[in-house]
Amino acid sequence: MLDPKIVSLITKQVNNEFFSAYLYLDFANYYEHKGLKGFANWFKIQAQEERDHGMLMYQYLHNNNELVELDSISRPNKTYEKLDDPLHFALAHECGVTAAINEIYSAAEQLKDYRTMQFLDWFVKEQGEEEANTHELISKMELFGGDARSLYLLDADLGSRTYAAPSLTL
């Protein structure tokens, strides 16, 4: 049986993951409108990943006989002035998600909830990858985004990204 604090924190994170998906769809929408379909593809895949993360946590709670309380998803309130604005917003958002995962992990550790800690190990690693990938994309945009031909090639490269579902076993 899970401690109520763990249930509350994971439930909150389920809802945060679905908001993340919604936020990334907003970023994709912006890039689609700008004609950067590769950037849009990158963020659509990010949205799929976030949705899957939420579903993994949702299933973990159900596997532990817990009810998940779903909240409404807030509208993203970002304003984009430059092409790289969504990239910087994404990195800041991922850092916030990392902090939330760490908070759950810390609570599980304090409660000696080793099963939840083991479940969260995958998410801790995943967050490191998410931050690194977003930072790398920002670096590429800084290097190549000012040149139309290079931006075209970067957009084409991002358009070739495909989705791979997480391989976490619950």
The pLDDT of residue 167 is 73
Dmax over Cα atoms in the chain, in whole Å?
57
The predicted-structure confidence for 9-42, as pLDDT tens digits, reads as follows: 999 999 999 999 999 999 999 999 999 999 999 9
C-alpha–C-alpha distance, residues 100 and 97, integer Å: 5
Give tens-digit pLDDT for 43-60. Answer: 999 999 999 999 999 999
The predicted model scores a pTM of: 0.93
- Is 158 within 8 Å of 42 (Cβ atoms)? yes
The predicted pLDDT at position 170 comes to 66
pLDDT at residue 115, rounded to an integer: 96
Q: How many CA atoms lie within 13 A of 47 on its CB side?
A: 16
**Distances, alpha carbon 122 to alpha carbons 102, 112, 133, in Å:** 12, 18, 16
Query: Contact 25/145 with Cβ under 8 angstroms?
Result: no
Tell me the average pLDDT of the chain. Answer: 95
- pLDDT value, residue 71: 95
